[in-house]
Every structure is written in structure tokens, then in C-alpha cells.
A and B are shown apart, each in its own frame.
Chain A
């Protein structure tokens, strides 16, 4: 219980710092892959500071409230996760947070923003099955939906769930808004609909979105860690290595693949979900 509370407090306080650092590292690695020097590692924090110091133009009076809802529910799902609660609940709360974000962009009277919102919904539809399969996989492997039970099993979940792990890493590309699946909004300049989801956000509201995304990054990478931990110290080391390798992999994919059309994304992701996740689950049910 004490570790759970320590983890949760650590998540609330350090979450944005870890998320921001990871983004900074991502940007440097990304630049090096392209043969550039790249920004300093602390660049995301400079950006946030700048955004908090800018004038923020509100296009309506509900937008900021919805963005706050996004932040609150992302943090809430993270708290649930690190407290060791039900993993299904974590994923549902995360989806709710996503809906807040979509509502916020859809509320703005701008075609780019609403198109971003629509694409975000398509993305949610694309990765949601795999998220559910991940939860079910954990349940079959550890016979519990509770995160603390899953974390304490003797054999790390990855042994039972290699396919589901791959599927999860696959949808992480969508969640992290990495090319080829950065349809709704992108961290790069080459964006066909201005900035998509965040077009109409500015100043401190945009900063809140960034902070929420950092929290989300930490939470999603935490789930990666959950595949590896087993209550021992080497489980933790394994989890850390797993997290870093997956994160590096996402950066790599970001630089290698161009953005795809939305139906390619839906088809390929569902296909991968069905093959990797489905077969893994099927075998698991047979042997257990």
C-alpha cells in the first residue's frame, strides 16, 4: 500500500517532468536521426514556460473547461493505475479524457479543429480494441484485473502475452501521435490541416494540453512496464529497459514511415490487433 501511495504521489509530482524529459530526448534523437543537431533536451520545458507567458486567445468559453477536463481525467487514470486499481477502469478513464479533448476541439468554430476532432475519434476507434485486448490479456495471465495483482505475479506478463505486447506497442504509435499515425495532430511542421486538434488552442490552454500529454506518456509507458514487472528487482530493471526500447522504437518509426491515409491506419491496426492479439489470446486460453 505504501509503495502504491508513493508511486501515485511520484506520478502526480514527477509525471510532467519525466514526460517532458522523454519528449526532449525524443526530439534530440529524432534530430540526430535526420543528421541535425537538434534542440536542447530541456526544450519542452522552455516551450511550456513560453506558452504560459503568452496571451491566450479563447474562441469560446467552454474550450478551456474541456481542456481542463482532459488534464484532470488523464491524471485521474494515472492515479488509478499507480494506485494498483482495476486496469479496465484505467483505460476507460483514459478514453473519457480523450473525449474531453475531442469535445474541446469540436467546440471551436474552425474546420481544421473539427476535422482534427473527427480524426481523433477515428484514432480512438482504431486503438480501443487493442487496449481492451491488453486488459483481457492481463486478466488471463494474472487472473486479476487489478494492477497490483498483475505487478506481483511470479512470471512477468510478457511471457504469456508477447503478441499482445506487440499489439500494444503498435497502438502506442497512435497514442503518441507519431508518424505514420499522426492524423489528428502532429508534432512536426508537415501537417495538412494546420495543427488539427490543437489549431484553436493557444497560450496557457495549449500548455495544459502539453502537460496532459506528458502525463499520458508516463501512464502509457507504465503499462509497458507492467508487462515486465514481477515483484523482483530484475523485473524492474527489465521494465525500464522495455520502456526505453519501446520509446526509442516509436521515435524510429516516426522517422521512417510517412503519414498514411486514415483507412490504412484503421485496417492495418485492426488487422494487427486481430492477428497478434487474437492469436496470443487464443493460445493463452488453450494452455491455461
Chain B
């Protein structure tokens, strides 16, 4: 059995325009139904395996994103959803925007698009899920070495 059969996600809205958030929720709705892969939207960093971030990073939400990331137990994967979360997108030049999510925390999967389509988000989550298994293996190896 693989731990990737049960990916629980937490979704955080950075400075997104809400377009991507709606698409994230949309992928959990009946038409796309992410739950058929065992995905649960937990809303609690301590239960989550996958961190979905939409929108860019600004000075105010940087510590929040870092805080959520630090509260998630290993293994964990970060998915940046939407071009804003990837590198700032159309808000890139704004005075308050620092850039994509990787300005605050390490990002594993980038899902571009404005707004990212549900199909793309599901694809990103599935890539994240495969990465979870890999990270778990690494964790096991590290535990053995120590």
C-alpha cells in the first residue's frame, strides 16, 4: 500500500483574485470529484499532506504561508496553483507583490494557467501524490541512517 492513496490537502488563498480558488473548489465538486482519489480538503495543516497555494506572495501573507508550511508534518508537498502562485502573474509588477510562492517556501509542483483549469489542478495534485511516495521513501532512508 502507498501513502499516496490518501492525500489530504490544505488550500490557502494568498493574494489571488479568487479565480484560482474557485477552480480549486470546482475540482472537488461533483463534475471532477477529486475525492475519488481519496483527496480530502482538511483545512488543517496538521492533517494535510499537500499544500495548495493560489495567488502570489506579499509582505503580509509571507509569514502566514511559512507558518502553515512549518505546521505540516512530513512528508509534505507544495503545489502552486495559477500563474500568480508560480511567479506573480499579472500582479508581478505590483509594489506589494514579492513574487511566486517559492519566494516563501520550497514549491514542488507548478500548475500554470490563469485561472488554472480544474483538469490542470487535478493533474498537479496527482503529480504531488506521486512525489509524496518518493518523499516518504526518503524519510524512511533517513530514519534508517540516523
- Which A residues fall within an 8 A CB radius of B? 27, 31, 34-40, 43, 46-47, 49-50, 53-57, 189, 191, 194-195, 198-203, 206
Whether the pair B42, A39 counts as a contact (CB closer than 8 A) is: no
Q: Which of B30-38, B57-65, B88-96, B101-109 contacts A (4 or more CB under 8 A)?
A: B30-38
* Smallest beta-carbon distance B4→chain A, Å: 8
| Contact of B73 with A by CB under 8 A | yes
Chain B residues with CB under 8 Å of chain A are: 1, 3, 5-6, 8, 28-30, 33, 35-38, 40-44, 46-47, 49, 71, 73-75, 136, 139
Docked Cα-Cα span, A189 to B74, in Å, equals: 21
Q: Secondary structure at chain B's binding surface: helix, strand, loop or mixed?
A: loop
Q: Is the interface of A mostly helix, strand, loop or mixed?
A: loop
Bound Cα distance A113, B48 (Å): 17
Q: Taking the nearest CB of chain A, how far is it from the CB of B136, in angstroms? A: 6
Contact of A53 among B8, B44, B136 (CB under 8 A): B136
List the B side residues contacting A57 at CB < 8 Å: 46, 71, 73
A31 to B38, CA, bound (A): 12
B4's nearest neighbour on chain A, judged by CB, is A50
C-alpha spacing A195/B41, complex, angstroms: 11
A–B pairs, 17, beta carbons within 8 Å: A36-B30, A37-B36, A38-B33, A39-B35, A39-B36, A46-B1, A47-B6, A47-B8, A49-B5, A50-B6, A54-B75, A57-B73, A189-B43, A195-B42, A195-B46, A202-B47, A206-B47
Closest-CB distance, A185 to chain B (whole angstroms): 10
- Residues A200 and B46 in contact, CB atoms below 8 Å apart: yes
